[in-house]
Chains A and B, each alone.
Chain A
Amino acid sequence: MKQEYIITIFSENNIGLLNRITINFTRRKINIESLTVSQSAISGISKFIIVVNETEERVKRLVAQLDKIVDVLKTFYHTSENMIFAEIAMYKISTELIYGNDELGEIVRNSGAQIDEITKDFIIIEKSGLKKETQDLFNKLNKFGVMQFVRSGRVAVTRDRIERLSEFLKTRDNELEKLN
């Protein structure tokens, strides 16, 4: 059964690696729902968070292929339940529309969103949360017309107490030592 999985890749910070990672998805015709790259808690190590909709079987095999990339340190995959995650969405709405419309003002006030900027032409609203929540807000606002909308890739952390990578790095050091 297909479901949402969050793939976390820890890697060296090298040029071209994103390409090497994504061709593994393209080749297997797996669509990337969202992708975020940032530094991890460990300096020099990048963290990719990639969301896909797939069967666990295929995700497992994909993760094994990603792990094989020379510059990749370690790849994990989780279901959404095992992670705390969020996305940020921004909405641009005409100022005139809001002031002329009580219902719209109400929606914005009750949405838990924050207002980033107001000009005489437009208002920028920002909301973070689950995709469903930011999408709901979009649907409501869009009844009146949203001029621009954008949602970030997902950021996520595990519920574990420590970054699993640090544990991994310790065992890796051990393994490498035994090899030589």
Chain B
Amino acid sequence: MLKNITGSKAVILSLLEEGVDTIFGYPGGAIIPIYDALYDFKEKVNHILARHEQGAIHAAEGYAKVTGKAGVCFATSGPGATNLITGIADAMMDSVPMVCITGQVASPSLGTDAFQESDVVGISMPVTKWNYQITNGDEIPGIIAKAFYIAQSGRPGPVLLDISKDAQTHILKEFEYKKCHQIRSYLPEHQINNKRIDDAVKLINEAKRPLLLVGQGVIISHAEKELKDFLEKTGIPAAWTLLGLSALPSDHPLNFGMLGMHGNYGPNILTNKTDLLIAVGMRFDDRVTGQVSSYAPQAKKIHLEIDPSEINKIIKVDVPILGDAKKSLSLLTEKVKPNKHTKWLEKFRQCDKTEYDTVISKDIHPEKGKITMGETVRIVSEKTHQEAIMVTDVGQQQMIAARYSKFNNSRSCVTSGGLGTMGYGIPAALGAQLAAPDRTVVAFIGDGGFQMTLQELGTIVEHKLPVKIILLNNDFLGMVRQWQELFFEKRYSFTELQNPDFVMISEGFGMKSSRVSKRENLESSIQKMIDYPGPYMLEVKVEQEEDVFPMVPSGACVSEIMLTKENKDLKN
């Protein structure tokens, strides 16, 4: 047992006890003591100095999504802490485990509007799974243990600890670290109810046209194998939410693509033809369901979910199965009857063909016009042999990247789902690369989003992280422009961007960069980028007014999916 150590040292030692090897952060007055303690542990922990706290927190998110462990983030009080809020809200929406530590003014000054004081606990309350202010240094080890337990167990989420400066300098007479395994008021996971399993098995065995919806819960609970076993035994087709992407290999014969607004034609249109929906670790986001009242009214529904508050929140279900998806899926697989659903799968294949002919082929194999986002994504995916981690920013490029990237492995997609945070991509890519140094990380970023967090190019270069950034430049806030085109009579109100010379900017940061605008040079440019051993930014000048299709217009029924802008009402 260590004796007489400072609160700050206790913070670092506690993090080491939790296995933390990477911290993303930015110092300032109220957190200097913790940074001072960190100075002695530079060999053990890799601290990444971001260029903005928003960069630090998105990087921590990227790191957490790829490793499944809590991302750790430091910031100072006041503006440092408030700069974290967007990322914390993002992590809350997407169930990302995070432990954020902010410095706070000394406890006697709390509530006096002291320099750089802000009520961080109050501000972050709606967007944290749990938060706590430490003013007594003796609490540090116990509270950090609790923080990691809460962030990583059950449905994961962000936790914030606000540590006053006097707690950081306080001397703990003794330091002993005990991991937290249990909190009386907190039940992270329910025991699976066997009766519910039996009810579900019955529905599954009787179903003629079932569809399984893969959510991020599959990835969080490491249930990829259990999912595959279940699908292969039952022959049930599957489709995924944006965050469920990569849980099931893209080439799996039962993988029929993405759900929702810009998802694939089959899964959307056939949602309203199924007789059974099996939702696994997903929360029926409105981008998935479209109009709730017309979402699969004919189908029975089974919901495998760890968070009780998600049951019946949006969609009423017939059989809720509370608990960890890994366990519930394997219980189901054990009991269900093998099946093939040959005719039903044929329907999905027909839809795939319709979509390929009307949308996909001209997206990914265009013959004329400017370069498209779709072909760029396809080539990157092919040239990385479907093995890369794909990071995206938000907007058209995100949807295109999700639609056309292919994956062999789980935990390969890092994207901002629930909050749709522009500026997420560049920092998240750097976090992802640190989490998986041996994997290729490619990041698709729009010209708008690029300019929200481009300062992190500096961080990437400093740490020689071989991230490949593909800037899909359409000189527009593309996704908003698309909505203006389709639903606001092409009134392009403030969506055209006057852009800088991106290559010059990246080079200014010391990043190898190039630009491509002709189709005949696209493949070789991408190859050059991939072969380059260090960080690289490739600007691709793409078609300016390209639209992402198919599209379920906001608030429309999933079966009202538009394949092209001309056939707004092509229905089955």
Residues of chain A touching chain B, judged by Cβ–Cβ distance below 8 Å, are 11-12, 15-16, 19-20, 23, 27, 60-61, 64-65, 67-68, 70-73, 169, 172, 175-176, 178-180
Q: Which of B126, B133, B191 makes the CB contact (< 8 A) with A175?
A: B191
Complex contacts, A72 vs chain B, CB 8 Å? 185
Count of chain B residues near A, Cβ 8 A:
26
In the complex, what's the smallest C-beta–C-beta distance from A97 to chain B, in angstroms? 43
Complex contacts, A65 vs chain B, CB 8 Å? 309
Complex contacts, A64 vs chain B, CB 8 Å? 308-309, 311, 313
In order of increasing CB-CB distance, the 3 nearest A-B pairs are: A64-B309, A70-B130, A73-B185
Residues of chain B touching chain A, judged by Cβ–Cβ distance below 8 Å, are 121-122, 125-126, 129-131, 133, 150, 181-191, 307-309, 311-313
A71 touching B185 in the complex, CB below 8 Å, given contacts A19-B125, A175-B190, A175-B191: yes
Complex contacts, A180 vs chain B, CB 8 Å? 181-182
A12 touching B185 in the complex, CB below 8 Å, given contacts A68-B308, A178-B191: yes
A19 touches B191 (CB 8 A): no
In the complex, what's the smallest C-beta–C-beta distance from A173 to chain B, in angstroms? 8
B183 touches A70 (CB 8 A): yes
Complex contacts, A15 vs chain B, CB 8 Å? 133
Q: Could you pull out 27 A-B pairs where Cβ atoms are within 8 angstroms?
A: A12-B185, A16-B121, A20-B125, A23-B125, A60-B312, A61-B309, A61-B312, A64-B308, A64-B311, A65-B309, A68-B307, A70-B129, A70-B183, A70-B185, A71-B130, A73-B185, A172-B184, A172-B187, A175-B190, A176-B182, A176-B184, A176-B187, A178-B191, A179-B182, A179-B187, A179-B188, A180-B182
Q: Which of A16, A67, A71, A178 makes the CB contact (< 8 A) with B308?
A: A67
Closest A residue, CB atoms, query B146: A70
Complex contacts, B125 vs chain A, CB 8 Å? 16, 19-20, 23
In the complex, what's the smallest C-beta–C-beta distance from A32 to chain B, in angstroms? 17
Considering the chains assembled together, what is the distance between the CA atoms of A61 and B184 in angstroms? Answer: 23
Complex contacts, A60 vs chain B, CB 8 Å? 312
Closest B residue, CB atoms, query A61: B313
Given contacts A61-B312, A64-B311, A65-B309, 15 further A-B contacts (CB under 8 A): A12-B184, A12-B185, A15-B133, A16-B125, A19-B122, A23-B126, A27-B126, A70-B185, A70-B186, A71-B185, A73-B184, A73-B185, A175-B187, A176-B187, A179-B182
Complex contacts, B191 vs chain A, CB 8 Å? 175, 178
Considering the chains assembled together, what is the distance between the CA atoms of A15 and B176 in angstroms? Answer: 25
Considering the chains assembled together, what is the distance between the CA atoms of A30 and B216 in angstroms? Answer: 30
Considering the chains assembled together, what is the distance between the CA atoms of A178 and B312 in angstroms? Answer: 26
A67 touching B190 in the complex, CB below 8 Å, given contacts A12-B185, A20-B125: no
Considering the chains assembled together, what is the distance between the CA atoms of A73 and B185 in angstroms? Answer: 4
Closest A residue, CB atoms, query B159: A70
Considering the chains assembled together, what is the distance between the CA atoms of A30 and B138 in angstroms? Answer: 39
Considering the chains assembled together, what is the distance between the CA atoms of A179 and B306 in angstroms? Answer: 13
Closest A residue, CB atoms, query B307: A68
In the complex, what's the smallest C-beta–C-beta distance from A143 to chain B, in angstroms? 44
